[in-house]
């Protein structure tokens, strides 16, 4: 069983693992029908594949027809998805499918809002690991559907030396040397810094990526000038729609924004049964 199926099975068990007393009371026998999921506001859609999979796992006999695809702009009143088959399956899958679609489309929509607001095309907007526990693979897919990019997926696929790592290692230089001595030369080493002295240390340690954490605009611009192309520069902390372009204007290469996932509002849609 793959990871997404595990997530869906857990969601289905949470909702109807012990039965659906309402549906089972109304529909004691199989009965065919159809349903449509309709947008109740404008948004960018994400989560179509997982929604289709919800219906398939509830009842493999259900026929699902998507009317939009991930990353597409949807207007209020548009049909997102159609499903036909046994009505009991439709009713049992409805809320879980909607939960995935609403949450993931909310992330895609917020991400697209940031992407559209960003006036510096050379700057890459990326997410963080601040995701809903268990949903990271889905939420990072939603960020991409919204036009953003992914930072590292987890602790195993990217090196990021943060303040607590430096405290444990004894110094920034020691932390970088320790990591480089035990990992592949193919992996880039990123170091989080919060002041100019740490920027200088990161340059001296030959960090591949330097993350400017919670620095003000003037300090970020000064750091970018000091780094002078010797490392990729990422900005992190206090990123919002109002600070996005002032941060980009400092000359950084990447802006990481946890709000893309942890501040996203679920969009509004519903399923209508015919």
Residues annotated as catalytic are 95, 130, 162, 192, 213
Taking the C-alpha atoms of residue 39 and residue 267, their distance in angstroms, rounded to an integer, is 9
- Half-sphere exposure of residue 11: CA atoms within 13 angstroms, side-chain side: 25
Taking the C-alpha atoms of residue 234 and residue 108, their distance in angstroms, rounded to an integer, is 22
Residue with tokens 């924004």: 257
Helix and strand numbers (H, E) in the chain are 11, 12
To 10 degrees, the CA torsion angle through 216, 220, 223, 228? -170
Taking the C-alpha atoms of residue 205 and residue 223, their distance in angstroms, rounded to an integer, is 15
Q: Is 187 helix (H, G, I), strand (E, B) or coil?
A: coil
In degrees, rounded to 5, the angle at the alpha carbon of residue 94 between the alpha carbons of residues 99 and 78 is: 80
Taking the C-alpha atoms of residue 63 and residue 65, their distance in angstroms, rounded to an integer, is 7
CB of 238 within 8 A of CB of 255?
Answer: no
Taking the C-alpha atoms of residue 9 and residue 15, their distance in angstroms, rounded to an integer, is 10
Residue with tokens 């693979």: 137
Taking the C-alpha atoms of residue 117 and residue 22, their distance in angstroms, rounded to an integer, is 46
CA 215 to chain CA centroid, nearest Å: 24
Count, residues in the chain? 274
CB of 92 within 8 A of CB of 81?
Answer: no
């Amino acid at each position: 069983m793959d990871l997404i199926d595990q997530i869906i099975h857990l969601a289905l068990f949470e909702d109807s693992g012990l039965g659906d007393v309402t549906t089972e009371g109304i529909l004691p026998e199989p009965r065919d029908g159809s349903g449509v999921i309709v947008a109740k506001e404008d948004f960018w859609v994400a989560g179509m594949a997982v929604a289709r999979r919800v219906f398939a796992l509830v009842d493999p006999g259900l026929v699902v027809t998507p009317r939009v695809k991930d990353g597409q702009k949807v207007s209020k009143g548009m049909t997102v998805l159609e499903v036909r088959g046994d009505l009991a399956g439709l009713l049992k899958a409805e809320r879980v499918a909607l939960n995935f679609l609403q949450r993931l489309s909310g992330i895609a929509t917020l991400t697209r809002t940031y992407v559209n607001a960003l006036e510096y095309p050379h700057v890459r907007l990326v997410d963080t690991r601040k995701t809903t526990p268990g949903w990271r693979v889905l939420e990072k897919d939603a960020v991409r559907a919204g036009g953003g990019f992914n930072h590292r997926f987890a602790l195993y696929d990217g090196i990021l030396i943060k303040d607590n790592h430096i405290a444990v290692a004894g110094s920034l230089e020691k932390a970088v040397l320790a990591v480089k001595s035990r990992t592949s030369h193919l992996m880039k080493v990123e170091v989080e810094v919060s002041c100019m002295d740490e920027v200088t240390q990161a340059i001296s340690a030959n960090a591949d990526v330097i993350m400017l954490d919670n620095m003000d605009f003037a300090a970020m611009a000064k750091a970018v000038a000091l780094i002078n192309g010797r490392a990729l520069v990422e900005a992190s902390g206090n990123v919002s729609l109002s600070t996005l372009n002032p941060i980009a204007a400092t000359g950084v290469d990447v802006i990481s924004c946890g709000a893309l996932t942890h501040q996203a509002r679920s969009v509004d849609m519903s399923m209508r049964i015919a």
